[in-house]
Structure 1
Amino acid sequence: MARSIYITSAEGHSGKSSIALGVLDTLSHEVERVGVFRPIARSITERDYVLELLLAHDGVGLDYDECVGVTYDDVHDDPDAALAKIVERYKNVESKCDAVVIVGSDYTDVGSPTELSFNARIAANLGAPVLLVLTGRAMDESRGRTPDEMRQIAELSFPELTAAHASVLAVVANRADSEQLDPICAAISAVADVPAWAIPEDPFLVAPTVSGIMSAVDGELLQGDSELLAREAMGVVIAAMSMENVLPRLIEGGIVVIPADRSEMLLAALTAHASDTFPSLAGIVLNGGFELSPTITRLIAGLDQTLPLITTELGTYATAQRITQTRGRLAADSQRKLDTALALFEKHVDTRVLLDALSLSPSGAVTPLMFEYGLIERARADLKHIVLPEGNDDRILRAAGTLLSRGVAKLTILGDEAEVRGRAAGLGVDIAGAAILSPTDEEHRQRFAEEYARVRAHKGMTVEAARDIVTDVSYFGTMMVHLGLADGMVSGAAHTTAHTIKPGFEVIKTLDGVSVVSSVFFMALADRVLVYGDCAVVPDPTSEQLADIAISSAGTAGQFGIDPRVAMLSYSTGESGSGADVEKVRTATALVHERRPDIVVDGPIQYDAAADAAVGQSKMPGSQVAGRATVFIFPDLNTGNNTYKAVQRSANAVAVGPVLQGLRKPINDLSRGALVRDIINTVAITAIQAQGTAQ
């Protein structure tokens, strides 16, 4: 039977969805199969955005329709019949999961005094303990509630829950006054002897997106980058004054409402946005339905600006009213909001206490999500400084925002500071915690040129020639790592593998006793993680290089918590085959035994004999590796690259890498098709490698 938790609130606008996301994320790191269930939805036909948000989380493999119980109308018409149907539909979800996050009703617009009681009744019938979410905002949301007010809300809520025989697991005071967190927790805990946590209000989480505002005012995008419509708007400025009085009132991330016939104000706002001395705007709404003159349109087009310009037929009052009434919500398409919500939850909720209260034991399996979470946790444990050379790539900026908000690493991003920060702001990505460094920065350029010329003096390198070379972002980033200004580098989203790793070969060089730089992929299968090497760097390794790859791969596996049992792959197993290719693998295996007798290794061995216990016992009885291999060493790049891609596609595995190994300091290459998630994982891996290098 799945362990479940019922998340409900005592009133609307509590931010319950962000708490549900935090709980779901926590559970997904502990067990294989996590489910979500929404007992009451507004409609069966109109999709529930909270449920969609949770279903979009990695590791949840359920369909939307099976996760919905009944509608509000069903409850109103026949509460008992609705409850019976909820239990029936929940049981179907429970049977497929190890843990289920159940999200109670919303209150908003359709709330009633008995709503908490009915949620408690559902929780009791589902056998799920309640995580009660209390809002720390007053009803008009103009101020935070005092600890005494929070105590009173708790005193009103607990009797309703216990009267329905619901068991209260813990309480979260969400959107609380940041200066009253501890007193609020103490006030709530005084009402009932359960854990209580308080999460502070973050205005960003309730800020609407520019696209949401555009929809609210029935607007259209006149000009600008549609990618920037996803940015959150942190306030509204009505440009009804003179230019001199409006400009000082501009705010960071603000929406400026300008009558479309006030072209001078429009040009002033665009100029201010482009200036380093004024706040970066989220967008401009031109109201009134007036068309811009051809001259102004041509002038704006010549500015080559990306700020969204939205037009609406509404008047100033109606436009302002609709914008101020537009409420932001946590949704799957806002990565920064997701990162912010998860970071707040992780910081202020003791997840170990929560899991212990649920009596949830960690799974023995390692899912892709568990492996990725383990990477993040290990990187956080000892923060390292990683340089990202490709600051002009949106994926890098989005990944940087997540890495910084989740506290995974310290970052330096290469590029022009105004351009990088401006683009990040336009994307709605917070990279305030990152250092931005230009590869043409004269102080660093001269220092790097002198050092590069020294290292490459045997190749005839001069300082003058080096001054040009080190301004290349890959060389600049590598020199930072070489001189200790960063602990590692991640690049390749917009550059070739050769461009990324060549400077490392020249400057950082290989570890003692390692003749070749190679790579591995972490292949995260449904229930375990394997290591494949080399699938990206060495085309046709010699026996000596193959032995190096095996030794390096075993070390990498051990560094990341995988017990290395190394299979030296070939098209034959044991003594059954012959030929140059088999002899290469046989010789490499003997070299590994000779150089590192502590490594558990066997070969030549075929993949099936290495991976399948029954086949391994048949073909290589008594082997410590056959049927139990965790590290697979391929005889050449052609075999390795094709195999990892075949397994990735056919087994739906998550391939993390390539992870370079053999260099004195960590540098890692990204695929040019890398997703933001890939970049985050690679930075975490690089940080962990740097932790090992520092020891």
Structure 2
Amino acid sequence: FDPRLILNVTLAVAKAAMDSGVATRPIHDFSSYREKLSQFVYRSGMIMKPVFEQAKRNPKTIVYAEGEDDRVLRAVQIVVDDGLAKPILIGRRETIETKIKTLGLRLEVDKDVEIVEIMRDYRLHSYADYYHRLMGRRGISPTAALSLVRTRASILAAIMVRRGEADAMICGTSGRYGRHLEQIEGVIGIREGQSVLAAMNLVIMEKDTLFMCDTYVNYDPTAEQLAAITLMAAEEVRRFGIKPKVALLCHSNFGNRDNASSFKMRRVRELVLEKCPDMEIEGEMHSDAALSEQLRNNIFPNSRLRGSANLLIMPNLDSANIAYNLVKMTADGLPVGPLLLGAAKPAHILSPSATVRAVVNVSAVAVIDAQIHAGEAE
């Protein structure tokens, strides 16, 4: 089911009522009316709006590693309809064409989407040779390289991005996050000037939106790594049209405990402010203090942070992943991401629980990443 039908049918009914004279309250601004309806259908609408608008200005090519996945195909239909990107699907052509028909989609192969069926692609051996040149000193023989390019779609997608045959890649609707990450890091690598990769999730709730790091990548990052992650995450938050308000979370609250974790988070604050003196950042602190200015002021009135924090930096992977999933489920939050930070070229790894809307949202983010990489956006 395509939820946009709710919008289209509602708008069509409203227009018909106006044309027939039945409507007692005519709609004068259909664009505004559609946007209001969208807020009910897609709760991510307002947060994602600037991202979608920017993506549509110059759509880029995205290669989807799991091109046979039903959710990916449904998402790609929306991506094509909305003019967000030019999709490439990795998978078996016959399977994809059959699923397009079964799912009732309108995608036209070779027009709306390109399919890369690697076992029948003339570039197979070129890709394998390329991968061996990259990974030959990491134990990957020519034979292994050929086998991996044939069987690991994320490796193939990453090679296409590195070679410039696609602008961005999305994977992760099946398989383990860590394996996809290893494959992307091996082929695409880390962005120049960065030392670490990280994952950020955001949860859109009725009144607030929270960004959280590092939810998937670094098990116990150092203060230096967390500072780099904080700066990358703040940069990403700004792309959503939101000013980052950073809270460095810990079991310690503004110095009331002294141990390795609290020392680390205090050091993160120092390192971030050395690089970005104007950053609205505070910590170390409890999560309730991060979200309540009144509570925070009772403890530490001179805080740099005003209002509620929107970017929560956790001391380690356990705390970040647990907090993210708790907020997502108990606050009835709508998740976006994970978004991969720090890769040399645009790449994102979803989770197996990703919805169609999650794939669409991350596709829009990937397009902006590609625009920035090409020097077309900030």
Q: What are the superposed Cα offsets for residues 392-446 of structure 1, whole Å, 9 maximum, x if unpaired? A: 2212111111211221111000112122112212221122100011122443222
Task: Work out which of the residue numbers 452, 460, 468 in structure 1 matches 2:147.
Answer: 468
Residues 628, 463 of structure 1: alpha-carbon distance in 2 compared, 3 angstrom cutoff: same
Q: Counterpart in 2 of 1:455?
A: 134
Matched, 1:437 2:116: yes
Q: Is the 8 A contact 1:388 1:414 kept in 2?
A: yes
Cα offsets for 1:473-499 (capped at 9, x unmatched): 111011011111111111111221123
Are residues 599 and 18 of structure 1, via their aligned partners in 2, closer, same or farther at CA, if it must alter by over 3 Å? closer
Secondary structure of 2:221 counterpart = coil
Q: 1:608 aligns with which of 288, 291, 295?
A: 288
* Matches of 1:491 and 1:459, distance apart in 2: 23
Tell me the alpha carbon deviations over residues 436-471 of structure 1, each in whole angstroms, 9 at most, x when there is no partner.
Answer: 111224432222222222222332544343222222
Query: Which blocks of at least 5 consecutive residues in structure 1 are unaligned?
Result: 1-15, 24-49, 51-100, 107-115, 132-168, 171-348
**Closer, same or farther: CA 492–367 of 1 in aligned 2, 3 Å:** closer
Matched residue, 1:673: 353
Equivalence map 1:231-380=2 (5 Å): 351=31, 368-380=44-56
Q: CA deviation at 1:598?
A: 4.1
Whole-Å separation in 2 of the counterparts to 1:596 and 1:105: 55
Cα distance change on mapping 1:407 and 1:531 into 2, 3 Å: same
Q: Give 1:22 shift.
A: 4.1
SS in 2 for 1:456: helix
Q: Is the 8 A contact 1:541 1:635 kept in 2?
A: yes
- In 2, the alpha carbon distance for the partners of 1:562 and 1:685 equals 14
Question: What code does the residue aligned with 2:124 have?
Answer: R
Secondary structure at 2:119 match in 1: coil
Corresponding residue for 2:65? 389
CA deviation vs aligned residue, 1:28-77 (integer Å, no higher than 9, x gap): xxxxxxxxxxxxxxxxxxxxxx7xxxxxxxxxxxxxxxxxxxxxxxxxxx
Scaled by the length of structure 1, the TM-score of the pair is 0.49
Following the alignment from structure 1 to structure 2, what is the Cα–Cα distance between the partners of residues 565 and 659? 18
2:216 aligned partner: 536
> Deviation string for 1:137-178 (max 9, x for gaps)?
xxxxxxxxxxxxxxxxxxxxxxxxxxxxxxxx48xxxxxxxx
1:576 aligns with 2:277: no
Distance in 1, matches of 2:241 and 2:255, equals 32
2:270 paired residue number: 590
Q: Which has the higher contact order (CA 8 A, sep 6+)?
A: 2
C-alpha change, 1:448 and 1:624, in structure 2 (3 Å) is same
Q: Does 1:625 align with 2:270?
A: no
Residue 549 (structure 1) aligned with residue 192 (structure 2): no
1:412 matched to which residue of 2? 88
Matches of 2:155 and 2:48, distance apart in 1: 29
Which letter maps to 2:253?
A: T
Give the share of equivalent positions with the same residue, in percent. Answer: 29
Shift of 1:622: 2.5
> Is the Cα contact below 8 Å between 1:610 and 1:626 reproduced in 2?
no
Q: How does 1:45-444 map to 2 (within 5 A)?
A: 104=17, 116=20, 119=22, 123=24, 128=25, 130-131=26-27, 169=28, 351=31, 368-432=44-108, 433-444=112-123
Q: Distance in 2 between matches of 1:372 and 1:513?
A: 28
Q: Is the 8 A contact 1:620 1:626 kept in 2?
A: no
| Aligned partner of 1:21 among 10, 23, 29 | 10
- Mapped to 2, the partners of 1:520 and 1:403 lie a distance apart of 22
Amino acid at match of 1:467: L
Distance change in 2, residues 1:391/1:588 (3 Å): same
User: TM-score, normalised to structure 2's length?
Assistant: 0.87
Q: Could you say if the C-alpha distance between residues 431 and 481 of structure 1 is closer, same or farther in structure 2, counting changes exceeding 3 Å?
A: same
Question: Corresponding residue for 1:645?
Answer: 325
Give 1:377 deviation, angstroms.
2.4
Contact map agreement 2:160 2:166 (CA 8 A) in 1: yes
Closer, same or farther: CA 615–546 of 1 in aligned 2, 3 Å: same
Structure 1: which amino acid aligns with 2:346?
A: P
Q: In structure 2, do the counterparts of structure 1 residues 19 and 565 end up closer, same or farther at CA, with 3 Å as the change threshold? A: closer
Checking the alignment, whether the CA contact within 8 Å between 1:492 and 1:672 is kept in structure 2 is: yes
Q: Which whole-Å CA distance do the structure 2 matches of 1:654 and 1:606 have between them?
A: 23
* SS in structure 2 of the partner of residue 576 of structure 1: coil
Letter in 2 for 1:617: N
Which residue in 1 is equivalent to 2:243? 563
Equivalent pair of 2:54/2:368 in contact (CA under 8 Å): yes
What CA distance in whole angstroms lies between the structure 1 residues aligned with 2:363 and 2:307? Answer: 32
Q: Which has the larger radius of gyration?
A: 1
* Structure 1 contact 609–626 (Cα < 8 Å) conserved: no
Question: Do 1:368 and 1:526's aligned partners in 2 also have CA atoms closer than 8 Å?
Answer: no
Give 1:104 shift: 4.6
**Unpaired segments of 5 or more residues in structure 2?**
none
Give the match for residue 490 of structure 1: 170
Structure 1 residue 102: deviation in Å? Answer: 10
Contact 2:168–2:346, Cα closer than 8 Å, also in 1: yes
Please state how far the C-alpha of 1:17 moved relative to its aligned partner.
8.3
Whether the 8 Å CA contact 1:530–1:630 is kept in 2: the answer is yes
Over 3 Å counting, the alpha-carbon distance change for 1:619 and 1:686 in structure 2 is same
Shift of 1:626: 5.2
CA distance 1:417–1:17, shift in 2 (3 Å)? closer
Q: Distance in 2 between matches of 1:497 and 1:642?
A: 16
| CA deviation profile, 1:498-552 (whole Å, cap 9, x unmatched) | 2322211111111123221101112212134221111122121122221121111
**Cα offset, 1:103, TM superposition:** 8.4
Shift of 1:601: 2.0
Equivalent AA in structure 2 for residue 455 of structure 1: L
What do the CA deviations read for 1:281-335 (whole angstroms, capped 9, x no partner)?
Answer: xxxxxxxxxxxxxxxxxxxxxxxxxxxxxxxxxxxxxxxxxxxxxxxxxxxxxxx
Q: Using a 3 Å threshold, how does the CA distance of structure 1 residues 687 and 18 change in structure 2: closer, same or farther?
A: closer
SS at match of 1:685: helix
CA, structure 1 residues 694+528, in 2 after alignment: closer, same or farther (shift >3 Å)? farther
Cα distance between partner residues in 2 of 1:564 and 1:442? 45
Residues 460 and 600 of structure 1, relative CA distance in 2, 3 Å threshold: same
RMSD: 2.8
Whether the 8 Å contact between 1:659 and 1:668 is mirrored in structure 2 is yes
1:666 Cα deviation (Å)? 1.8
Aligned partners of 2:293 and 2:276: how far apart in 1? 25
Q: Who is 1:137 aligned against?
A: none
> CA offset at residue 105 of structure 1?
10
| Equivalent position amino acid for 1:570 in 2 | C
CA contact 2:43–2:334 (8 Å) conserved in 1? no
Which consecutive aligned stretches of 4+ in structure 1 deviate over 6 angstroms post-superposition? none
Q: AA paired with 2:79?
A: L
Q: How many residues align?
A: 363
CA distance in 1, matches of 2:237, 2:209: 10
Within 2, Cα distance between the matches of 1:383 and 1:631? 28
Q: Is the 8 A contact 1:379 1:685 kept in 2?
A: yes
